[in-house]
Chains A and B, each alone.
Chain A
Protein backbone atom coordinates (compact mmCIF):
# COMPACT_ATOMS: atom_id res chain seq x y z
CA UNK A 1 0.00 0.00 0.00
CA UNK A 2 1.19 3.48 -0.87
CA UNK A 3 2.01 6.01 1.84
CA UNK A 4 -0.96 7.53 3.60
CA UNK A 5 -2.45 10.57 1.95
CA UNK A 6 -1.86 13.82 3.79
CA UNK A 7 -5.04 15.89 3.46
CA UNK A 8 -4.62 19.55 2.52
CA UNK A 9 -6.79 21.61 4.87
CA UNK A 10 -7.23 25.36 4.61
CA UNK A 11 -9.37 27.71 6.65
CA UNK A 12 -9.34 31.05 4.91
CA UNK A 13 -11.17 34.29 4.30
CA UNK A 14 -10.35 34.38 0.58
CA UNK A 15 -12.27 32.65 -2.17
CA UNK A 16 -10.90 29.53 -3.85
CA UNK A 17 -10.69 28.30 -7.43
CA UNK A 18 -12.28 24.86 -7.81
CA UNK A 19 -10.50 24.02 -11.08
CA UNK A 20 -7.12 25.06 -9.65
CA UNK A 21 -7.68 22.87 -6.59
CA UNK A 22 -8.51 19.84 -8.74
CA UNK A 23 -5.44 20.50 -10.90
CA UNK A 24 -3.22 20.79 -7.82
CA UNK A 25 -4.41 17.41 -6.60
CA UNK A 26 -4.02 15.55 -9.89
CA UNK A 27 -1.03 17.28 -11.52
CA UNK A 28 1.74 14.87 -12.50
CA UNK A 29 -0.20 11.78 -11.43
CA UNK A 30 -1.43 8.87 -13.51
CA UNK A 31 -2.91 6.74 -10.74
CA UNK A 32 -6.02 8.79 -9.97
CA UNK A 33 -9.14 7.57 -11.74
CA UNK A 34 -11.81 9.61 -10.01
CA UNK A 35 -12.11 13.08 -8.54
CA UNK A 36 -15.28 14.12 -6.74
CA UNK A 37 -15.69 17.75 -5.73
CA UNK A 38 -18.35 19.29 -3.58
CA UNK A 39 -18.72 23.06 -3.42
CA UNK A 40 -21.06 24.71 -0.97
CA UNK A 41 -22.28 28.17 -1.99
CA UNK A 42 -24.08 30.98 -0.23
CA UNK A 43 -27.78 31.19 -1.21
CA UNK A 44 -29.79 34.41 -1.12
CA UNK A 45 -33.00 32.66 0.08
CA UNK A 46 -35.20 34.21 -2.64
CA UNK A 47 -33.57 37.60 -2.27
CA UNK A 48 -33.96 37.79 1.52
CA UNK A 49 -30.24 37.59 2.33
CA UNK A 50 -27.50 40.05 1.48
CA UNK A 51 -24.74 37.90 3.01
CA UNK A 52 -23.81 35.16 5.40
CA UNK A 53 -21.23 35.85 8.06
CA UNK A 54 -19.24 32.79 9.09
CA UNK A 55 -17.72 32.78 12.53
CA UNK A 56 -15.23 30.05 13.37
CA UNK A 57 -13.09 28.80 16.21
CA UNK A 58 -9.50 29.38 15.02
CA UNK A 59 -7.28 26.47 15.89
CA UNK A 60 -10.09 24.06 16.60
CA UNK A 61 -11.51 24.48 13.09
CA UNK A 62 -8.25 23.22 11.59
CA UNK A 63 -7.88 20.51 14.25
CA UNK A 64 -11.43 19.19 13.95
CA UNK A 65 -11.41 19.16 10.14
CA UNK A 66 -8.04 17.38 10.41
CA UNK A 67 -9.62 14.70 12.59
CA UNK A 68 -12.56 14.28 10.19
CA UNK A 69 -10.18 14.11 7.21
CA UNK A 70 -8.00 11.52 8.98
CA UNK A 71 -11.07 9.35 9.49
CA UNK A 72 -11.99 9.63 5.80
CA UNK A 73 -8.46 8.65 4.78
CA UNK A 74 -8.67 5.64 7.07
CA UNK A 75 -12.07 4.52 5.78
CA UNK A 76 -11.61 4.99 2.02
CA UNK A 77 -8.63 4.37 -0.28
CA UNK A 78 -8.06 8.01 -1.21
CA UNK A 79 -5.15 9.28 -3.25
CA UNK A 80 -5.70 12.92 -2.52
CA UNK A 81 -7.93 15.08 -0.36
CA UNK A 82 -8.37 18.84 -0.15
CA UNK A 83 -10.77 20.62 2.19
CA UNK A 84 -11.22 24.39 2.21
CA UNK A 85 -13.65 26.25 4.46
CA UNK A 86 -14.06 30.01 4.28
CA UNK A 87 -14.93 32.36 7.11
CA UNK A 88 -15.97 36.00 7.28
CA UNK A 89 -18.66 37.72 5.24
CA UNK A 90 -19.74 35.81 2.15
CA UNK A 91 -22.15 37.17 -0.49
CA UNK A 92 -24.84 35.10 -2.23
CA UNK A 93 -23.34 33.14 -5.10
CA UNK A 94 -19.92 32.96 -3.49
CA UNK A 95 -18.18 29.79 -2.37
CA UNK A 96 -18.25 28.71 1.28
CA UNK A 97 -16.73 25.24 1.37
CA UNK A 98 -14.88 22.84 -0.90
CA UNK A 99 -14.13 19.14 -0.65
CA UNK A 100 -12.02 17.46 -3.33
CA UNK A 101 -11.60 13.70 -2.95
CA UNK A 102 -9.43 11.71 -5.37
CA UNK A 103 -9.25 7.95 -5.66
CA UNK A 104 -8.63 5.16 -8.17
CA UNK A 105 -12.35 4.49 -8.48
CA UNK A 106 -15.39 6.68 -8.17
CA UNK A 107 -17.18 4.92 -5.33
CA UNK A 108 -14.55 5.74 -2.72
CA UNK A 109 -14.32 9.35 -3.91
CA UNK A 110 -18.11 9.85 -3.85
CA UNK A 111 -18.53 8.26 -0.44
CA UNK A 112 -15.61 10.06 1.16
CA UNK A 113 -16.82 13.46 -0.10
CA UNK A 114 -20.33 12.73 1.16
CA UNK A 115 -19.06 11.59 4.56
CA UNK A 116 -16.81 14.64 4.85
CA UNK A 117 -19.62 17.08 4.14
CA UNK A 118 -21.96 15.40 6.62
CA UNK A 119 -19.30 15.59 9.31
CA UNK A 120 -18.19 19.12 8.46
CA UNK A 121 -21.76 20.30 8.89
CA UNK A 122 -22.26 18.76 12.30
CA UNK A 123 -18.75 18.88 13.84
CA UNK A 124 -16.62 21.62 12.33
CA UNK A 125 -16.77 24.71 14.59
CA UNK A 126 -18.37 27.24 12.22
CA UNK A 127 -21.54 29.28 12.73
CA UNK A 128 -23.52 31.15 10.09
CA UNK A 129 -25.20 34.46 10.76
CA UNK A 130 -27.65 35.88 8.25
CA UNK A 131 -27.53 39.45 6.99
CA UNK A 132 -30.93 40.50 5.66
CA UNK A 133 -31.21 42.31 2.34
CA UNK A 134 -33.79 44.75 3.79
CA UNK A 135 -31.39 45.85 6.53
CA UNK A 136 -33.38 44.25 9.36
CA UNK A 137 -31.52 42.41 12.09
CA UNK A 138 -30.46 38.94 10.94
CA UNK A 139 -30.12 35.93 13.19
CA UNK A 140 -27.94 32.88 13.61
CA UNK A 141 -28.78 29.97 11.35
CA UNK A 142 -30.24 27.12 13.39
CA UNK A 143 -28.66 23.70 13.17
CA UNK A 144 -30.83 21.16 11.41
CA UNK A 145 -31.60 17.85 13.02
CA UNK A 146 -31.42 16.36 9.53
CA UNK A 147 -27.72 17.28 9.41
CA UNK A 148 -27.06 15.37 12.63
CA UNK A 149 -28.97 12.38 11.26
CA UNK A 150 -26.96 12.59 8.05
CA UNK A 151 -23.73 12.37 10.05
CA UNK A 152 -25.09 9.56 12.22
CA UNK A 153 -25.72 7.29 9.25
CA UNK A 154 -21.95 6.85 8.86
CA UNK A 155 -21.68 5.37 12.32
CA UNK A 156 -21.97 1.64 12.08
CA UNK A 157 -24.19 -0.05 14.68
CA UNK A 158 -22.03 -1.07 17.60
CA UNK A 159 -19.09 0.83 16.08
Chain B
Protein backbone atom coordinates (compact mmCIF):
# COMPACT_ATOMS: atom_id res chain seq x y z
CA UNK B 1 0.00 0.00 0.00
CA UNK B 2 1.40 3.38 -0.88
CA UNK B 3 1.21 6.36 1.43
CA UNK B 4 0.81 9.95 0.32
CA UNK B 5 3.34 12.33 1.85
CA UNK B 6 2.61 16.06 1.72
CA UNK B 7 5.09 18.82 2.53
CA UNK B 8 4.54 22.45 3.43
CA UNK B 9 6.52 25.69 3.75
CA UNK B 10 10.30 25.23 4.03
CA UNK B 11 9.97 21.46 4.29
CA UNK B 12 8.35 21.54 0.83
CA UNK B 13 10.94 23.94 -0.55
CA UNK B 14 13.89 21.93 0.72
CA UNK B 15 12.57 18.57 -0.44
CA UNK B 16 11.69 20.20 -3.75
CA UNK B 17 8.18 18.86 -4.24
CA UNK B 18 4.78 19.42 -2.64
CA UNK B 19 3.86 15.74 -2.33
CA UNK B 20 4.72 12.21 -3.36
CA UNK B 21 3.47 8.66 -3.01
CA UNK B 22 5.88 6.30 -1.29
CA UNK B 23 6.00 2.61 -0.49
CA UNK B 24 7.10 2.43 3.10
CA UNK B 25 9.61 -0.33 3.75
CA UNK B 26 8.90 -2.91 6.43
CA UNK B 27 9.84 -1.80 9.92
CA UNK B 28 8.64 1.79 9.59
CA UNK B 29 6.13 1.83 12.42
CA UNK B 30 6.11 5.29 13.93
CA UNK B 31 6.37 8.88 12.78
CA UNK B 32 9.93 8.97 14.15
CA UNK B 33 10.81 5.90 12.04
CA UNK B 34 9.35 7.59 8.97
CA UNK B 35 11.38 10.77 9.54
CA UNK B 36 14.57 8.74 10.00
CA UNK B 37 13.93 6.77 6.81
CA UNK B 38 13.04 9.84 4.74
CA UNK B 39 16.16 11.63 5.92
CA UNK B 40 18.25 8.86 4.39
CA UNK B 41 16.68 9.26 0.93
CA UNK B 42 18.98 11.98 -0.36
CA UNK B 43 20.56 15.33 0.21
CA UNK B 44 17.33 17.31 -0.14
CA UNK B 45 15.60 15.17 2.51
CA UNK B 46 18.65 15.36 4.75
CA UNK B 47 18.52 19.13 4.39
CA UNK B 48 14.79 19.37 5.14
CA UNK B 49 14.84 16.95 8.07
CA UNK B 50 18.18 17.84 9.60
CA UNK B 51 16.50 18.60 12.93
CA UNK B 52 13.64 16.11 13.07
CA UNK B 53 12.47 17.35 16.47
CA UNK B 54 11.19 20.61 14.98
CA UNK B 55 9.17 18.88 12.26
CA UNK B 56 5.41 18.79 12.92
CA UNK B 57 3.39 15.92 11.54
CA UNK B 58 -0.26 15.32 10.73
CA UNK B 59 -1.76 11.95 9.89
CA UNK B 60 -4.99 12.04 7.91
CA UNK B 61 -5.15 15.79 8.60
CA UNK B 62 -4.80 15.60 12.41
CA UNK B 63 -1.77 16.63 14.46
CA UNK B 64 0.19 13.71 15.92
CA UNK B 65 3.34 13.28 17.98
CA UNK B 66 6.49 11.55 16.75
CA UNK B 67 5.69 8.35 18.65
CA UNK B 68 2.40 7.89 16.85
CA UNK B 69 2.00 4.66 14.88
CA UNK B 70 1.51 5.24 11.17
CA UNK B 71 -0.27 2.00 10.29
CA UNK B 72 -3.31 2.77 8.14
CA UNK B 73 -2.29 6.35 7.37
CA UNK B 74 -3.52 7.46 3.94
CA UNK B 75 -1.95 10.88 4.10
CA UNK B 76 0.98 12.04 6.19
CA UNK B 77 1.96 15.71 6.16
CA UNK B 78 5.31 17.12 7.31
CA UNK B 79 5.71 20.81 8.05
CA UNK B 80 7.46 23.38 10.24
CA UNK B 81 5.80 24.86 13.34
CA UNK B 82 2.79 26.86 12.23
CA UNK B 83 2.78 30.65 11.92
CA UNK B 84 -0.78 31.53 11.00
CA UNK B 85 -3.18 33.83 12.78
Chain A 57-112 residues near chain B, CB threshold 8 A = 57, 59-60, 63-64, 85, 96-97
What range describes how many residues of B lie at the interface? 10 to 19
A85 to B79 CA separation, bound complex (whole angstroms): 19
Pair B83/A59 contact, Cβ less than 8 Å: no
Pair B82/A124 contact, Cβ less than 8 Å: yes
B9 within 8 A of A: yes
Chain B 23-66 residues near chain A, CB threshold 8 A = 58, 61-63
Pair A127/B61 contact, Cβ less than 8 Å: no
Which of A63, A85, A140, A148 contacts B84, CB < 8 Å?
A85
What range describes how many residues of A lie at the interface? 20 to 34
Pair B82/A140 contact, Cβ less than 8 Å: no
A126 to B77 CA separation, bound complex (whole angstroms): 13
User: Closest B-chain residue to A122, C-beta based?
Assistant: B82
Which of B6, B62, B82 contacts A143, CB < 8 Å?
B82
A54 within 8 A of B: yes
Cβ contacts under 8 Å, B85 to chain A: 40, 85, 96-97, 117, 120-121, 124, 126, 147
Contact with B along A128-159 (1 / 0, CB 8 A): 11000000000011110001100000000000
Cβ contacts under 8 Å, B58 to chain A: 57, 60, 125
User: Closest B-chain residue to A38, C-beta based?
Assistant: B85
A55 within 8 A of B: yes
A85 to B83 CA separation, bound complex (whole angstroms): 12
Cβ contacts under 8 Å, A40 to chain B: 85
User: Closest A-chain residue to B10, C-beta based?
Assistant: A140
The interface of chain A, by Cβ under 8 A from chain B, is 40, 54-57, 59-60, 63-64, 85, 96-97, 117, 120-129, 140-143, 147-148
